[in-house]
Amino acid sequence: MVETAVQIEKQQPKRRRWKKTAIIVITGFVIILLLSGAAAYWVMQKSLPETSGTETISSLTSEVKAYRDKNGVPHIVAKTVKDMYMAQGYVTAQDRMFQMDLSRRQASGQLSEVIGEKTIEKDRFFRALGLRRAAEASFNVYSPEARKVLQWYADGVNAYLKEAKKKKNLPVEFMLAGYEPKKWTPVDSLTIGKYMAFDLGGHWEGQAFRHYLIQQFPKEKALDLFPSYPENGAEIINKAMEAKIDIKSRLAGAVVPNEYNGSNDWVVAGEKTKSGKPYLADDPHLGLATPSIWYETQLKAPGMNVSGVVFAGVPGIIVGHNEKVAWGVTNVGPDVQDLYIEKRNPKNAEEFLYEGKWEKAKVIQENIKVKDHKTVPYKVTVTRHGPVMSEFALDKKEDTALSLKWTALEPSTELQAVLMFNKAENWKQFKKALTYFHTPAQNFVFASEDGTIAYRANGHIPIRGEKYASVPVPGWEKKYEWKGYIPWEKLPTVVNPKEGFIATANNKVIGEDYPYHITDSWAQPYREQRIKDVLSSKAKLSVNDMKKLQFDRKNLQAEEMLPILLPQVEKGKLNTNEKKALQILKDWNYEDNKELAAPLLFHLWMQEFSSVLFEKKIDEKMMALFDGKAQVVDQLIRRASKGQEGPWITEAGGLKAVSKRSFSRTVKEVETLQGENPKNWRWGAYHTLPFEHPLAAVKPLNLLFNPKETEMGGSRVTVGAAGWDTVTGKVNHGAAWRTVVDLSDLSKSYNVVGPGQSGHVLSKWYDNQIKDWTTGNYHVTYTNEASFKGEDKLVLTPDQ
């Protein structure tokens, strides 16, 4: 309808009034937003830790200086060991208190108390597992000295908490989550240590998965996906087939560590280095998040000067160097967990069969507090083997259950070993300290200024009454009990080898003649082989060679697999983009460079290859329990290439059919992700690193807490590790900490912590190391006081 001039004239005042009102409303809204933003900024700014000036801690006996260098690394200089550990607790809490609290809550099964109903199942799992119970039992076996250290550290954390609560400047995450943290205890620190044993633990989920296979598929088809055929396979598999347990409903919701948790580490003898002294390099591979799982620190007191990293919430330095020696770790990944099939007494749910008699289990009340809801009553049943894990998600008590026996659920003294590492002056002293390190079993590499390099796979690794079976074993028969552990003096050890270097990357570390079982599920061999290739390639290696190798992008899996897979597809009928993709892979130099299309095609192809084999056959919810899937699929391809196609590849049409189908699906997926022009395909555009914060799951807090995403090269199989979520492509796994140490000068080391040191979003050290981390650069951390005197200095003083 067309308006007349009169009508328009009459409406003008109304329109002007409406515009005026709208302007007022919008202006008011903007003002509210600005005021809210200013208030939020003020709250966050207020919670930033004091890194200079003076603070009073009543329990100190003397003044402590806590310098923070230009990268936010605290250098704690104290006159007594007690004051040093108290200051470590205080300073770590300043930077990482929210992370520390979430860590102890997750490991203890106490997240629901502050989060609500969403985490009840996760809490039930960790209550059943019993990491906190194991930590409590461990505290009692520590030496009086170690217990003092734990208490001193807790006193420092609590000094920070008391002050922060008084000044109302706790980290802003606590305000957003709506709670205040409780006092810190020594058991909290040990519980975090037990969680790391869980994160690096060994293979129970694989046993559960293989039990599922035996129940759901013909025997030959199930065995095709075993890492190796059990030597007592026929007997044990028949018994497993008899034990009807619904693994999907019982364990599909279990918390399963990332199967790629591991590390690289190596040592090079002085005869092969440009400095004439050993080099040590270490980069542990764990989850990538904000803040980092690692916290870099230097601790200095009479008789002690050590630098390196530690998990926030734990005293001492776990990986690093002192004035005489340096050490690093990778995960051995041994079979230290066994699932036992338990027969329950139909007349008494708390009794289980053992050697023909009903044996009473221990029942522990583990009620779970839930925010804004009633407490959830929960009972954990513990048999002679360990906690019943197959009922954590359901309250119904079945006639058959699965319990878990695991070395980490026994009392252990890893912190005692760490405190001894920090003071060790030679291999003899360091090796003695290893007698106290039980779990998780780790590959330790060691270097000393006296020229010694050494390696040891250390920890409690069980000897079984029957050979390892790869599946749950009968809990009612004594013959399946553990007989003890591999004797300490028989653990794999190498000192000053003729090759002039030692390298480990979670690979197989024993020869065929080693008399004890460690595991069948070693990591894929590609990282370890690449490290050895590089270390062997030069007569003299430099520190820069070490740094470059830690960031190396050479993909040896592609180098092995593409000559097998490409011939399977190149002779078939291909569309235009499939032909172009094929040529891209043929021309590739096997570098997982973020700018290239080939890594994108290869890694998605390997994912699709697995999907073609397993989708609609293996329940999707069970795939998280498929321990060692990558190694198994590699082996299926190798066998098929030699004319030994197993039932999974055969039933999918053979190697050629699986290769062609998965390749075609890969190209279609890449087209969907990045368009139909192959010139625009890039690995980095898919493979991006968000360093996600725990609260980022609550939108729009991701915009506040997550750093800007960065494109990444590398992959799971390259030395420069960068694992990713297979659904989103987001990088979520790798070496949050990299270190290189030249033993010719132990007053410094070359390090990087991604994304940074601080857990405070407004801190200049929150994400300042992302650029270095994603480009292979390092900062230098010095340990002589003169090098960081000009930086931030916080003086902690005793109460006068």
Average pLDDT over residues 88-108: 98
User: Is residue 580 exposed (0-12), middle (13-18) or buried (19+ Cβ within 10 Å)?
Assistant: middle
State residue 37's pLDDT score.
Answer: 58
For 3-29, the pLDDT digits (tens) are 433 343 444 444 455 555 555 555 554
Tell me: pLDDT of 632 over 60.
Answer: yes
Tell me: pLDDT of 210 over 90.
Answer: yes
Tell me: pLDDT of 374 over 60.
Answer: yes
Q: Choose between 243 and 704: higher pLDDT.
A: 704
- Among 50-59, 145-154, 747-756, name the one with the lowest average pLDDT: 50-59
Average pLDDT over residues 692-720: 95
What is the per-residue DSSP string for 730-765?
A: -EEEE-SEEEEEETT-TTEEEEEESS-S---TTSTT
From CA 324, how far away is CA 328, in angstroms rounded?
A: 14
Question: Is residue 183 within 8 Å of 308, Cβ to Cβ?
Answer: no
Average pLDDT over residues 347-355: 96
Token pair 């040093």 is at which residue? 84
Nearest to 283 by CA among 527, 556, 603: 527
Nearest to 376 by CA among 112, 104, 103: 112
State residue 234's pLDDT score.
Answer: 62
State residue 469's pLDDT score.
Answer: 84
State residue 616's pLDDT score.
Answer: 93
For 553-579, the pLDDT digits (tens) are 999 999 999 999 999 999 889 999 999
**Beta bridge partners of residue 733, listed in sequence order:** 287, 723
Within 10 Å of residue 668's Cβ, how many Cβ atoms?
A: 14
State residue 4's pLDDT score.
Answer: 39
- Among 35-39, 308-312, 589-593, 775-779, name the one with the lowest average pLDDT: 35-39
State residue 3's pLDDT score.
Answer: 41
From CA 431, how far away is CA 447, in angstroms rounded?
A: 12
Tell me: pLDDT of 177 over 90.
Answer: yes
**Beta strand pairing call for 737-742 and 279-287:** antiparallel
Tell me: pLDDT of 743 over 90.
Answer: yes
Domain positions in the chain are 1-46, 80-199, 556-590+597-681
Percent residues over pLDDT 70 in the chain? 93
From CA 50, how far away is CA 169, in angstroms rounded?
A: 11
State residue 229's pLDDT score.
Answer: 65
From CA 667, how far away is CA 574, in angstroms rounded?
A: 11
Tell me: pLDDT of 241 over 70.
Answer: no
Average pLDDT over residues 292-321: 98
Average pLDDT over residues 620-648: 95
CB under 8 Å, gap of 24 or more: what pairs does 489-494 form? 490/515, 490/516, 491/456, 491/457, 491/458, 491/459, 491/461, 492/455, 492/456, 492/457, 493/454, 493/455, 493/456, 493/457, 494/454, 494/455, 494/456
Whether the predicted model's global pTM rises above the 0.85 cut? yes
Tell me: pLDDT of 153 over 90.
Answer: yes
Q: What is the chain's mean pLDDT, rounded?
A: 92
Q: Choose between 395 and 791: higher pLDDT.
A: 791
Tell me: pLDDT of 461 over 60.
Answer: yes
State residue 232's pLDDT score.
Answer: 61
The CATH architecture of the domain made up of 80-199 is Orthogonal Bundle (1.10)
